[in-house]
């Protein structure tokens, strides 16, 4: 089970960046039965937790009840290789996400767990930014073109903000529950 912050439809303008990426460049994911041209991420999101246990879901629900809604801030557009998709050579166009409040929430949820469990549930913790949002997965032969698109858009979205009131826990693309931050944001 995975916890996701849905960032689509928040007026951040990222759909326009996705549209600037040619369908021809997109990677085919045989595991998800995507065809060429279906490598764009259809649901723009930032992963909060991966491989969630039922106890972590319950803990996140409890901690969210005492947590105010918080902002996430977009960082630069990036282009990088996605090593977890080996043996294919695949690249990603994405956007960095910054939020000290999101990092603090995740730390409270993972408090007391072993380092191994923390890494399993929060594989992006080493980046200390709050996460990222992948927009598209790119085949190796289109690396230079996609990299140029990312570079041309590098700081175009930087500083855009979104207020986060909740996140969803999903399993195989199906929403299991929504976890809401119950405390209103500070004014």
Range of the domain at 163: 2-180
Is 152 strand, coil or helix?
A: helix
- Cα maximum dimension of the chain: 49
Is 88 within the bounds of a domain? yes
Domain for residue 175, yes or no? yes
* pLDDT tens-place string over residues 148-158: 999 999 988 99
CATH code, 14 = 3.90.1140
Residues paired with residue 92 on neighbouring β-strands, in sequence order: 80, 137
Instruction: Give the total number of structural domains in the chain.
Output: 1
Residues 63-92 have pLDDT tens digits of 999 999 999 999 999 999 988 777 888 898
Domain assignment present for residue 176? The answer is: yes
């Amino acid at each position: 089970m995975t916890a996701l912050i849905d960032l689509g439809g928040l007026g951040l303008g990222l759909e326009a960046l996705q549209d600037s990426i040619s369908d021809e460049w997109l990677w085919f994911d045989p595991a998800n039965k995507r065809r060429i041209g279906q490598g764009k991420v259809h649901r723009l999101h930032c992963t909060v937790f991966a491989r969630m246990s039922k106890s972590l879901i319950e803990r996140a629900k409890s901690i969210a009840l005492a947590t105010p809604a918080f902002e996430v801030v977009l960082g630069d557009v990036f282009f990088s290789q996605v090593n977890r998709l080996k043996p294919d050579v695949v690249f990603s166009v994405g956007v960095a996400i910054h939020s000290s409040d999101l990092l603090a929430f995740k730390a409270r949820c993972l408090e007391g767990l072993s380092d191994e469990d923390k890494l399993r549930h929060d594989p992006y913790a080493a980046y200390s930014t709050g996460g990222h949002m992948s927009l598209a997965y790119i085949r190796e032969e289109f690396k230079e073109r996609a990299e140029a698109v990312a570079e041309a858009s590098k700081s175009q979205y930087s500083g855009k903000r979104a207020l986060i009131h909740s996140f969803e826990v999903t399993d195989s693309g199906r929403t299991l529950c929504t976890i809401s931050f119950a405390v209103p944001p500070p004014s």
